[in-house]
Structure 1
Amino acid sequence: METLIAKFGGTSIGNGERIRKAAQSVVNEFMKGNRVVVVVSAINKTTDNLISITEDSIGDDPTPKQMAEILSMGEMTSARVFSSVVESLGVKSEFIDPYNRFWPILTDSNPLKAKINFAASEEKSKEISELLDQGIIPVICGFLGKGPRDEITTLGRGGSDITAFFLGHALEANEVIIVTDVNGVMTTDPNKIEEAEKLDHISVEEMRDLATHGAQVLHPFALQYKDPRIKAKIISFEKGDLSDSGTAIIGPLNGDMLKTATLYPEPISVVAIVGEKMLNKKGLLANLTSVLAENDINIFGISAGENSVTTFINKKDADNAYHLLHTLVIGSDRLSSLSLGQDIAMLTVVSPDFIETPGIISDITNPLRKNNINIVEISSSQTAVVIFVDWEDGKRAFEYVKEVLE
């Protein structure tokens, strides 16, 4: 017997036919002897309709508390309908919303972007096992929470996925299944490139980065709730089969998705190349990186300006890289000169919260400025910040950055 968490997105329960197919897929797993917990989003476009109606009737005046109550109607309706369909198929079911005594997701008092109280919610979630032991399929509202005064709260973007991953952890489930309108994670958007292929598996780290750069399959914020011990996958609703392989989500490999800071243990060297209107020269960067790659030299970072390109490489490879790139310079009519700079340290800061945290780069760099640590170069994505400082300042900078993350 396995415990499965099956989360159905709004599109996968977008009409009566889809809801019945989804409910049948849950019943099929139940009949195999598995215990199934269902998490549902609002039926397709319900939330958008509720927001539109509210804006048309009230304008910008509803309070956050009122908005949370209004938005909650989408998931509450989905849970009731889905549970009723399961029972029509001959299996006991109970819908669970924040007014139900079994409600497991307890939060702080923020109405529209609540944070889960982990300890209290883990304890409360154990009561869901009582229903499972009785042969009941619980259908739980995704996205919603209950605050300290029993008020309705919402978990913000990716809320239903958060609910599913959290319950997977709290109930020590065997697998979390995200049912959506795609057949899994693809090599790219199949609507743009027909040759796109489905991936058999993808790491949490890769999925997080893919999601932060626009992939709509899963919200990156939800991934920090994934328990590394529990299997997870993304499948399509179209097959109506929860055992479909879809795309497995592996990890996280580091055991958690908390903010982390690392200091690369070896010194990094800077090789800077200057020239005239370098960015207008087609293939220039490709030639530069190819020369280093062909000689087994790794590039830790690269920055390009109108008249310069700076590469960051391990110090042990610096002299070789310097000579190789010099050959490239003297053979080009666009490049003028290059230099081998000082030893520097590389700090990498990673967090799934960065995409949701305005001013995070200032928070990280301000302690360095206050302590007179010069930043040689900085690069960032939606989930990571890489900082290069003078080698002698590396350990101090690392300690200051760690304090920011605590």
Structure 2
Amino acid sequence: MGIVVAKFGGTSVGSGERIYKAANSVVNEYMQGNQVVVVVSAINKTTDESIKLVNESIGELVTEKQLAGILSMGEMQSVRIMAATIESLGVKAEFIDPFSEKWPVITDSNYLNAKIDKKETQKRVTKYIKKLLNQGIIPVVCGFLGCDVDGSVTTLGRGGSDVSAFLIGHCLGADEVVIVTDVKGVMSTDPRKLNTARKLDKITVEEMIDLANYGAQVLHPNALRYKDPNIKAKIISFEYGDLRVQGTDIIGPAHEEYDVITITKCDDKLSVLAVVGENLMNQQCIIAQITQKVCENKLNIYGISTGESSITLFFKEDEAIKAHEKLHDLVIGGDTLSSISLGQKIAMISVVSHDFIDTPGIIASITKPLHENEINIVELSSSQTAVVVFVDWNDGDKAYDLIKETLQ
């Protein structure tokens, strides 16, 4: 007997037919011998309609506490309908909302973007949800919602229902979390933009987070903070009405603590190469020409950045000399590039955290201690989850220590 947490998004319960199909898939899973916890979002568009009504009737005068209570009504309706539908199919179910004594998700009092009290939530999941499962009852839990210590309703912010599912799965030590949504899985690209898009059989947590951070809306990265490495997870479409259907498996993460900041200093000494030319930003295919030359000679680029009149590349010190020679051939063989220089020895420090996307000023936090200690930054590159700093090799250890002391 395993434990399965099934989360149904708003579209998946957007009509009576879909609610019945969802409930039937849960009952079928239960009849296979598994314990099932159901997490349900508000019925499609309910939340948007509630926000519209609030804007039209109250506007900016609504308090955060009031708004959280209003927004919670969609989920509280969904769990009641879902639980009743499951029971109509012959299996006992119990809806659980924030006003229930068995409510598991405890948070602080930040009503619209609450922080979860993991320790207290773990206690309540074990005490109440696990007990219901052992009694043969299917708990149907409101997604997106929490409750503070005073009993007031809170909301978990963006991706809240997915957070609820992975959080409960984590606390139960579930075998699998199934996210039921309106897509067949994670696609190679947006099928609305390219009809050649295909479904991926699997994707890592890290890849899923990067996709989400850059616009994919299948699963919010906040939810993956609670994805345990040993708990299976997948995204499937509601249209099949079957929790066993193949979708896209989410693999990982590589470590237990998702929300840690990882700071590493590359062991290799790097060298910087600068290629210069006039108006490079508007020169077509110049990056392709450079990377093709690097590829042909089986050299690895550790970093690359572009400017108005220069392109900077970082190589391992023992490969930089060869890169210098081969890229010089490119310089003298055409009219676009005018010169190339082999510069100082470089240390590379990488700072990675999936919290960075929601952390304003993170680059300032990294660069400020370097500035205060007169360490010059040769180059800096960033994405939504990583910042990479290049400094003089002789400053590398000190820069690493300063960044680590500041962020950890």
1:256-281 CA distances to partner (integer Å, 9 max, x unpaired)? 32221111111111100001112222
**Structure 1 residues 404 and 75: CA distance shift in structure 2, 3 A:** farther
In 2: Cα distance, 1:363 partner to 1:373 partner: 14
1:285 matched to which residue of 2?
A: 287
Question: 2:302 is paired with a residue of what secondary structure?
Answer: strand
1:74 lines up with 2:50 in the alignment: no
Shift in Å, 1:306: 1.8
Shift in Å, 1:94: 0.4
1:145 matched to which residue of 2?
A: 146
Give the number of aligned pairs. 406
In 2: Cα distance, 1:172 partner to 1:142 partner: 18
Shift in Å, 1:369: 1.2
| Structure 2, unaligned runs of 5 or more | none
1:29 matched to which residue of 2?
A: 29
Shift in Å, 1:118: 0.9
1:394 matched to which residue of 2?
A: 396
2:251 matched to which residue of 1?
A: 250
1:157 matched to which residue of 2?
A: 158
In 1: Cα distance, 2:79 partner to 2:369 partner: 48
Shift in Å, 1:54: 0.3
1:171 lines up with 2:177 in the alignment: no
2:120 matched to which residue of 1?
A: 120
1:347-404 CA distances to partner (integer Å, 9 max, x unpaired)? 1111111111111111221111112111111111111111111111111211222223
In 1: Cα distance, 2:290 partner to 2:256 partner: 37
TM-score scaled by structure 2?
0.98
Moved more, 354-363 or 31-40: 354-363
Question: 1:392 is paired with a residue of what secondary structure?
Answer: helix
The question of whether the paired residues in 2 share the 8 Å contact of 1:183 and 1:234 is answered with: yes
In 1: Cα distance, 2:388 partner to 2:43 partner: 41
Shift in Å, 1:163: 0.8
2:277 matched to which residue of 1?
A: 275
2:195 matched to which residue of 1?
A: 194
Give, as a single letter, the amino acid of the residue that structure 1 aligns with 2:336: R
Shift in Å, 1:249: 0.3
1:3 matched to which residue of 2?
A: 3
In 2: Cα distance, 1:49 partner to 1:385 partner: 39
Give, as a single letter, the amino acid of the residue that structure 1 aligns with 2:79: A
In 1: Cα distance, 2:330 partner to 2:189 partner: 35
Percent identity over the alignment?
Answer: 60
Moved more, 274-283 or 325-334: 274-283
1:49 matched to which residue of 2?
A: 49
1:235 lines up with 2:243 in the alignment: no
Shift in Å, 1:254: 2.8
1:404 matched to which residue of 2?
A: 406
1:44-101 CA distances to partner (integer Å, 9 max, x unpaired)? 1111111100000001111111111111111111111111111111110000011111
Moved more, 352-361 or 1-10: 352-361
In 1: Cα distance, 2:140 partner to 2:68 partner: 20
Question: 1:299 is paired with a residue of what secondary structure?
Answer: coil
Question: 1:195 is paired with a residue of what secondary structure?
Answer: coil
1:18 matched to which residue of 2?
A: 18
Question: 2:91 is paired with a residue of what secondary structure?
Answer: coil
Shift in Å, 1:332: 1.2
Give, as a single letter, the amino acid of the residue that structure 2 aligns with 1:133: N
TM-score scaled by structure 1?
0.98
The question of whether the paired residues in 2 share the 8 Å contact of 1:345 and 1:394 is answered with: yes
The question of whether the paired residues in 2 share the 8 Å contact of 1:23 and 1:82 is answered with: yes
Give, as a single letter, the amino acid of the residue that structure 2 aligns with 1:228: P
Give, as a single letter, the amino acid of the residue that structure 1 aligns with 2:147: K
In 2: Cα distance, 1:361 partner to 1:14 partner: 42
| Structure 1, unaligned runs of 5 or more | none
In 1: Cα distance, 2:400 partner to 2:282 partner: 37
Shift in Å, 1:294: 1.4
Question: 1:388 is paired with a residue of what secondary structure?
Answer: strand
Give, as a single letter, the amino acid of the residue that structure 2 aligns with 1:138: P
In 1: Cα distance, 2:160 partner to 2:315 partner: 41
The question of whether the paired residues in 2 share the 8 Å contact of 1:173 and 1:230 is answered with: yes
In 2: Cα distance, 1:286 partner to 1:294 partner: 12
Question: 2:350 is paired with a residue of what secondary structure?
Answer: strand
The question of whether the paired residues in 2 share the 8 Å contact of 1:95 and 1:140 is answered with: yes
In 2: Cα distance, 1:241 partner to 1:191 partner: 25
1:382 lines up with 2:346 in the alignment: no
The question of whether the paired residues in 2 share the 8 Å contact of 1:228 and 1:256 is answered with: no
1:223 matched to which residue of 2?
A: 224
1:145-189 CA distances to partner (integer Å, 9 max, x unpaired)? 111212111110011111111111100100000111000001001
Moved more, 86-95 or 354-363: 354-363
1:276-331 CA distances to partner (integer Å, 9 max, x unpaired)? 11222221110100111111111111111121111111112110000000011000
Paired residues for 1:129-144 under 5 Å: 129-144=130-145
1:184 matched to which residue of 2?
A: 185
Shift in Å, 1:7: 0.5
Question: 2:136 is paired with a residue of what secondary structure?
Answer: coil
The question of whether the paired residues in 2 share the 8 Å contact of 1:11 and 1:181 is answered with: yes
Paired residues for 1:32-111 under 5 Å: 32-111=32-111
In 1: Cα distance, 2:104 partner to 2:406 partner: 32
In 2: Cα distance, 1:247 partner to 1:154 partner: 28
Please identify runs of 4+ aligned residues in structure 1 that moved more than 4 A. none
Shift in Å, 1:191: 1.0
The question of whether the paired residues in 2 share the 8 Å contact of 1:260 and 1:405 is answered with: no
In 1: Cα distance, 2:279 partner to 2:379 partner: 21
1:190-224 CA distances to partner (integer Å, 9 max, x unpaired)? 11111111111000000000000000000012111
